[in-house]
Amino acid sequence: MFRVGIIGCGGISAVHAQVLSELENTELAACADLLPERAGRYGCAAYADYRKMLDAEKLDAVHLCTPHHLHPVMAAEAARRGVAVFTEKPPAIDAAGWEQVKRAAARAPVGVCFQNRYHPHVRACLGFLKENTYGPLRGIRAFVTWNRTAAYYAAADWKGKWATEGGGALINQAVHTLDLIIGFLGAPDQAEAALSNRRLRGAIQVEDTAEIYLNRGGVPALMYASNAYSQDAPVMIELHFDQAVIRLEGDLMMVIQAGKRREIPCVTDPILGRSYWGAGHKACIADFYRSVETGQRYQNDPASCEATMETLLKLYAQARR
Ligand SMILES: NC(=O)c1ccc[n+]([C@@H]2O[C@H](COP(=O)([O-])OP(=O)(O)OC[C@H]3O[C@@H](n4cnc5c(N)ncnc54)[C@H](O)[C@@H]3O)[C@@H](O)[C@H]2O)c1
């Protein structure tokens, strides 16, 4: 049984706590949060200082559910004590932080919560690419159109700021989709972004809207990500193959071929958390503990995130310049 701690007991931590209670080989032993009522919300040993928790609790692993800028330093503190780390996305907000996460991974297992890689339809599309089922990939387009209001940003002091969130719609809401696109496309040769603040100008520092252009070997990938929509619409990703168009929208996959449209629904685990986040946390976390147990490479290890992180940081550097 793995003794696990959660650091940061806000919104997403509830999904981690639920998964840890459902898995047979994990036990939530301790939590740390600056706010005592949050640290105590899951009824286990509660700490304000996560380093004290790491020193006192003999944990096998910690889950980082804290603001973005804290992931690297917390990963380093855990790894130097030999504690495995499962970090929420993004693993870092700058190059120095990303290097720190990779150094931590040399000392202890580190996994990144890109749970949508576990979606059956995403896996199916990776299979189409590998098997050349519909011929070569010609292009990709994606939309992430969600609703993040001024009240959402006001509720957490780290959101909406360059220093702590590291960006807005792209690094926080659309980073999963960027990661999937790069999983399909490979590391791009060209990566350009235009960032803007359409709705919350003056209220937040970071972008609420990002327009992305990637290209690899002549195959373009376009993404539009905005937090300025009226609702949290299902994410849409379309892969244009030579002989078919595959459209993923929420839990639906459409295969459009020779003018005919086939709809393939997908039954995923009961949704943990909000459906538009994707329901893959359980599969992603279960696989992490399987890899820690067996010593086999974890699918979402830092090396698997290199192209995504490199592209993400490049997009921000280029667009902000
Ligand atoms: N994978 C997903 O789909 C998904 C979905 C939502 C959020 N997230 C990620 O989860 C992380 C947390 O997001 P959230 O929305 O739950 O944020 P949140 O603001 O609701 O929670 C963060 C918590 O961290 C605590 N905290 C801050 N500094 C701390 C410190 N030094 N020590 C201990 N606790 C500290 C805060 O008090 C707060 O309770 C972010 O990285 C976010 O991107 C991922």
pLDDT in tens, 8-54: 999 999 999 999 999 999 999 999 999 999 999 999 999 999 999 99
Question: How many A from CA of 172 to the centre of ligand 1?
Answer: 11
pLDDT at 5: 98
Question: How many A from CA of 7 to the centre of ligand 1?
Answer: 8
CA-proximal residue: ligand 1, atom 18 (nearest): 10
Q: Using DSSP, state whether 132 is helix, strand or coil.
A: coil
Beta 236-241 vs 245-249: how paired, if at all?
A: antiparallel
47 lines ligand 1 (CB under 6 A): no
CA-proximal residue: ligand 1, atom 25 (nearest): 8
Is the domain 116-275 a CATH 3.40.50.2000 member?
no
pLDDT-derived band at 274 (thresholds 50, 70, 90) equals low
CB neighbourhood size of 163 (10 A): 12
Q: Which one is the CATH code of 2-112: 3.10.20.30, 1.10.3470.10, 3.40.50.720, 3.30.930.10? A: 3.40.50.720
Task: Please list the residue range(s) of the chain that carry CATH number 3.40.50.720.
Answer: 2-112
Closest among 155, 144, 145, 138 to 203, alpha carbons compared? 155
pLDDT in tens, 135-152: 999 999 999 999 999 999
DSSP assignment of 225-292 equals EESBSSS-PPPEEEEEESS-EEEEETTEEEEEETTEEEEEE---SPPPS-GGG-S-HHHHHHHHHHHH
Give pTM, 2 decimals.
0.96
Q: Percent of the chain beyond pLDDT 70? A: 96
Task: Please list the residue range(s) of the chain that carry CATH number 3.30.360.10.
Answer: 116-275
What average pLDDT score do residues 188-205 get?
A: 95
pLDDT at 250: 86
Q: Using DSSP, state whether 3 is helix, strand or coil.
A: strand
82 lines ligand 1 (CB under 6 A): no
Q: Using DSSP, state whether 78 is helix, strand or coil.
A: helix
Mutate to test the pocket of ligand 1, among 16, 31, 34, 86 (most ligand atoms within 8 A of CB): 34
pLDDT-derived band at 117 (thresholds 50, 70, 90) equals very high
10 lines ligand 1 (CB under 6 A): yes
What region, left, alpha or beta, does residue 187 occupy, with left being phi > 0 and alpha being psi -120 to 50 degrees? Answer: beta
69 lines ligand 1 (CB under 6 A): no
HSE, CB side, 13 Å, CA atoms: give it for residue 184: 32
Angle, alpha carbons 236-121-303 (nearest 5°): 90
35 lines ligand 1 (CB under 6 A): yes
pLDDT at 278 over 60: no
pLDDT at 177 over 60: yes
Lowest-confidence range among 81-90, 176-185, 245-254, 274-283? 274-283
